[in-house]
Structure 1
Amino acid sequence: MPPPAVVTGTGHAPIRRATTPDRRILPMTIKVFGHKSPDTDSTGSPLIWAWYLSEIKGTPAEAVLLGTPNTEAAFMLDRWGFEQPTIIEDVAAGAPVVVVDTNNPAELPAGINDADLQQIIDHHRLVGGLETKGPIDIRIEPVACTATIMWKMIGKDMAQAPTAIKGAMLSCILSDTLEFRSPTTTQEDKAVAHALADELGIDIPSYAAEMFAAKSDVSAFSDAELLRMDSKAYEVGGTKFRVSVLETTSPGTVLDRKASLMETMPTVASEDGVDQVLLFVVDILNEESTLLVPNDLVRDVASRSFAAEAAGNTVLLPGVVSRKKQIIPNLKV
C-alpha cells in the first residue's frame, strides 16, 4: 500500500505530503523549471539542476517545463536520450520550486509568488516582482548561458555527471551563444563548451550545425505558434510588446510566410494581452536580423530603436542577433 499523506498548503490547491508508515514526512520533490516558451537553455538547465539536486545533494528534484520545447530543444532531448519533462501550467501554494534561466514573473506560472521559491539561477537582468517565503540562494551572472553558471556551481562534482547531462550543458551553451556568434558570449562560455566537447568527443561546428538545422525546421508550426515559440513579454514607454525571435540558418523559409505572420500578429497580441508583437528573424550564419514591419508603430520602433528605416514591410538590422543584449535594451517608442 502507498504511504499515508498529510495535506499542507493553503487555498484551493493543497499539497499532499507523503509519509512513511511511522508518519515521518518525506521530503517534497522540488520542481525545477525555466521560462515559458522553453528554448534549449530553459529545457536543458532544469534537467541539469534536477540531476545535481537529486544525485549529488540528495534532495529530490524534478525538471518540468512551462510549455512545449522548441524544435532545437526537442532535438537536444532526443540526441542525449532524455524523455521530455512534464509540462505544467501552474504551481501549488507552498510547493518548493527552483527557477532557472529567468527571474521575470511574467515568464513564470501565475502562482509563483505563492510557491516556496528556494533558488534562482539566471543570466538575465534583474526584473523584480518575485516574492519568497524567506532568504533564498540567488546566482545571477553576466554570461551567455545558465548552464555555464551551473557548470561552475557544480564544480568537481561534474566528474560524476552522466554523458547526457554534459551533452545537455554543451547544447545549452552552443544555443545561447549561437556557437559563440552572439555578443553575449564570454570567455567562460567558450571555455566550458570546449571542455565539455573534448570530454564528449564532439566536434563543435558539426554539432552546432545539427542543432541549428533542427531549430530552422519550423514547417510544422502555425503562424501563432511561430510568434510564440521564442518570445518574451516586455513593456517600454507604456507600450506592451511580445518580443519574438526566430533564430535560423534559413531565414527565407520564415520570411516567405511574412504576410500571414503579420496578419496573425493582432490576434496573438490580443490573446496575450500586449499591444504589439515584434518578430525578429535572426540569420545565424550572416549575423543579422530582419524585423517584420506590419504597421506605423513598428516602423517608428525600428527608427527610434535601431536608426533603421523600413523598406516596405521589413527592415534589415546588420549585426543584431541578441534579444537580451541588442534588442530589448534598445527598444524605444
Structure 2
Amino acid sequence: MEKELVFGHQNPDTDAIGTAIAFSYLQNKLGYNTEAVALGNPNDETAYALKTFGFEAPRVIKTAANEVNSVMLVDHNEPQQSVSDIEDVDVSNVVDHHRIMNFNTSKPLYYRAEPVGCTSTIVWKMFNENEVEIPKNLAGLMLSAIISDTLLLKSPTTTADDKEAVDALAKIADVDYEEYGLRMLKAGANIADKSEEELIDLDAKSFELNGNNVRVAQINVVDLPEAMARKEAFLKTMENSSKENGYDMFMLLITNILDSDSEALVVGSDDNKATFEKAFGKKLEDSEVKLPGVVSRKKQVVPPLTDAFEG
C-alpha cells in the first residue's frame, strides 16, 4: 500500500501536531501506511506536551508531492493553510472542526467535520468506533490537544463531546487534567524571550474574506499588561508583515488564559478597520480594542469578520 502523509495546518499548534500523530496511529492500525509530519516546528506549549508524553516532534515538510501521491489532512481544509503544493497531491481524508472554504478535490474522499472544540475529540470518537485501544502516552497527547483548543474547557467552542473526551483520555493517561492543563498552557504563554516577528507567526492563519486577505494571529499570555507594553513594536511588525505578504488586514488577538479576556491590535486600511469595527461593534482606539470574553478565533473572530466583509 502506498504511503500517505498526515498533517495539520501551517504554524501548527498542539491540535495540528497531536491529532496528526493520533490519526496516523489509528490509520496504521486500520491497515493503512501513513506518517505524521508537520508544516512547522512545535511551539512551546506543543513541545511541552510532546516531551511530557514521550513523543518526538514530527519531521517538518515544505512540500508533499515529492514524497507521496496522497495525503490526509487534520485540523484544516483551506488550501492557503495547507502544504504549499496541496494542489499537486490527492487528498484522501480530512478530519476537521473548522469551516469548509475553497476546498475542492478531483476524487471522492473520506471527509469528517464536526462542530466540536478540537479535532482530537473527533479522532477520539473514531478510535472508539473502530474499537482501537488508545495507548497511554497517545491519550495524553490527544488530551493536550483538547485542553489547548478549548483553553481547559473554558472556550465557547467547548462541547459536551469535548468534556467527555477529556474525562476519558485523562483516565487513560492517568493525569489530573486541570492541574496538567494549566501547566501546559502556562508553558506556552511565556512571550518574554520571543521577538515580535516570532510571536505574530506562532499561531496565525490567513482567511480570504470577500477578496480580502485577512491575517488573524493569536498569542496566549498570563500577563496582559506585559504583552501590551510591546504594542507599538507589534503594530510595526504587523505592518511590515502585511506589506511583505499582501495582507489587507492583520489582527493580533492577545488572550489572557487566566481570565479569558483579550485585547486586539489591528492594522490595515481605514476601510478595513471600519469593517473590523462593524464586526465587533466596537471602536478602535489607536489601533487597539478590548474584547472581553473573546478567546476563540474559530467561533468568535472569524465568523463576525466574515459577515462584516461580506455584508
Please tell me the TM-score bracket, short chain as reference.
over 0.9
Q: Provide the C-alpha distance between the structure 1 equivalents of 2:193 and 2:130, rounded to a whole number of angstroms.
A: 40
For 1:135 and 1:302, the matched residues in 2 are separated by 38
- Asked whether the equivalents of residues 63 and 83 of structure 2 are also in contact (C-alpha less than 8 Å), the reply is yes
1:174 maps to which of 119, 140, 147: 147
* Structure 2 match to 1:303: 277
| Residue in structure 1 matched with residue 71 of structure 2 by the alignment | 97
Q: Alignment length, in residue pairs?
A: 305
From 31, 37, 57, the counterpart of 1:64: 37
Of 229, 244, 250 in structure 1, the residue corresponding to residue 217 of structure 2 is: 244
> How far is 1:239 from its partner?
2.5
Once the two structures are superposed, residues 31-59 of structure 1 have per-residue CA deviations (whole angstroms, 9 ceiling, x without a partner) of 000100000000100100111122x1122
Range 112-121 or range 87-96, more displaced: 87-96
RMSD: 1.8
Q: Is the 8 Å Cα contact of residues 127 and 133 (structure 2) preserved in structure 1?
A: no
Match of 1:257 in 2: 230
Shift of residue 114, structure 1, vs aligned partner: 1.7
1:104, CA displacement in angstroms?
Answer: 0.4
Q: Specify every segment of 5 or more residues in structure 1 that has no aligned partner in the other structure, as ranges.
A: 1-26
Judging changes above 3 Å, is the alpha-carbon distance between structure 1 residues 141 and 218 closer, same or farther for their aligned structure 2 residues?
A: same
The one-letter code matched in structure 2 to 1:84 is A
Q: Does 1:218 align with 2:220?
A: no
Which runs of 5 or more residues in structure 2 are unaligned? Answer: none
Match of 2:51 among 67, 70, 78: 78
Question: Sequence identity of aligned pairs in percent?
Answer: 36
Letter in structure 1 aligned against 2:179? S
**Partner Cα distance (2:175, 2:76) in 1:** 28
- Deviation string for 1:227-285 (max 9, x for gaps)? 11111111334322111111222323322211111111122112223122110101122
1:234 matched to 2:207? The reply is yes
d(CA) in 2 for partners of 1:249 and 1:50? 33
CA contact (8 A) 2:48 2:187 kept: yes
In 2: Cα distance, 1:227 partner to 1:125 partner: 23
Report the residue type matching 1:310 in the other structure.
L
CA 85–264 in structure 1, closer or farther in 2 if over 3 Å, else same: same
Normalised by the length of structure 2, the TM-score is 0.92
Cα distance 1:288–1:39, how it changes in 2: closer, same or farther (>3 A)? Answer: same
Task: Give the partner amino acid of 2:37.
Answer: V
Q: Normalising to structure 1: TM-score of the pair? A: 0.86
Counterparts of 1:199 and 1:158, CA distance in 2: 15
Partners of 1:301 and 1:320 in 2: CA distance: 18
1:52 aligned to 2:29? no
Q: Please give the per-residue CA displacement for 1:164-183, whole angstroms capped at 9, x wherever unaligned.
A: 21011100111111111111
Q: Give the secondary structure class of the aligned counterpart of 2:37.
A: strand
Corresponding residue number in structure 2 for 1:138: 111
Contact 2:251 2:267 in 1 (8 A): no
How many angstroms apart in 1 are the aligned matches of 2:293 and 2:86?
36
Change (3 A) 1:290 1:58: same
